[in-house]
Amino acid sequence: MKVSFLFSFLTICSFSFGQSIVDTVKTAQGTMVIYGNRTWRYLEDATFDGILNEKIHDIVTSDSSLNFVQTWDNDVCYTSDRGNDLNKLSDTLWLCVTDEAHREFVIPSPGVVTSRYGFRHGRYHNGIDIDLEVGDTVVSAWAGKVRYAKYNDGGFGNLVIVRHYNGLETFYAHLSKHLVAPDQEVAAGEPIGLGGNTGHSYGAHLHFEVRFYDAPMNPEQIIDFTKKTCKDENLMVHRGLFRPGAKPTDLEEHGESIASVQKKTASATASGSRKYYKVRPGDTLSEIAVRNNTTVSRLCSLNGIRPTKTLQVGQSLRVK
């Protein structure tokens, strides 16, 4: 029955891509489907719940008044249908843009900024436009997992969305070609597409957005596009960041010190008890995840490891 279902599912996939499937390969990220034209994609990991930053997710969902939604969906741009109202944030969250486990940042494209976040042509421009040539390589800003990679008829054209371990999502729009598939793990600086002029675009460029729970913020709050570096490894998330056209701000403008926010955030996450698992002979990350009612992505995030890491017998892994 399972074999028949998988065959039927793969057959449907082959028609949707216009290519026959020549092989399937089991990897740490999931099942990779390889097509006759040498393209490939990952099948959805049924056990993955979309949470790459458990700490931030726990804080956000603990406040029932927010009622924020962030699912894992390969078919839509906005998993909350843009229903998350970040103006409801009454407190400030401390978010680590880079940390020990995922410390790298790479500018998505090295070109000059041609249009900034803010009001433009009678509407709000929710990202940064970066000049490039058709065919130039576009890379993932931080490590994460590809949530969306296909043509978007809402204006983005060929679009890639990556959800990151730091709690953010980034959008890469108007591409000429996708180089990644949904559910694929990517490292910071890994190619995800080629620059283009697709969708509502007048001239080749990269439209780049940074979003937190579906709400756009000014990318220049985090990134120095001249120096091509992160401004700070810490991001203090408060409702002032999500005003349409908001300029980069300092937390102190909102009457709160960085140290006090870090202390509160640490306190909010310290209440949950930790749980560890000792690796046994023959264990894999997938088996450990199933045994402890979690996911490989969570295990990697909690322990600062990649899905391909070789486990050592007797090694302690945090599972909660």
* pLDDT digit string, tens, across residues 22-76: 676 766 656 676 766 767 766 666 667 888 998 898 888 888 788 898 999 999 9
Cβ 255 vs Cβ 134: under 8 Å: no
The confidence band for 12, taking pLDDT boundaries of 50, 70 and 90, is very low
Q: What is the pLDDT of residues 259-289, one digit of tens each?
A: 566 555 655 555 555 677 878 888 888 888 8
Average pLDDT over residues 82-86: 91
Specify the pLDDT at position 18.
45
Q: Which CATH number fits domain 276-318: 3.10.350.10, 3.40.50.2000, 3.40.50.1000, 1.10.1240.10?
A: 3.10.350.10
Lowest mean pLDDT among 83-92, 161-170, 189-198, 295-304: 295-304
Specify the pLDDT at position 207.
98
Strands (E), 223-306: 223-224, 229-230, 234-237, 276-278
Give φ, ψ of 258 to 5 degrees.
-60, -40
CB burial of residue 28 (10 Å; 0-12, 13-18, 19+): middle
Lowest mean pLDDT among 17-31, 80-94, 200-214, 235-249: 17-31
Specify the pLDDT at position 46.
61
The confidence band for 253, taking pLDDT boundaries of 50, 70 and 90, is low
Q: Domain residue spans in the chain? A: 2-42, 54-263, 276-318
pTM of the model: 0.72
CATH says 54-263 is which class? mainly beta
The confidence band for 228, taking pLDDT boundaries of 50, 70 and 90, is very high
The confidence band for 300, taking pLDDT boundaries of 50, 70 and 90, is confident
How far is residue 142's CA from residue 139's CA, in Å, rounded to a whole number?
9
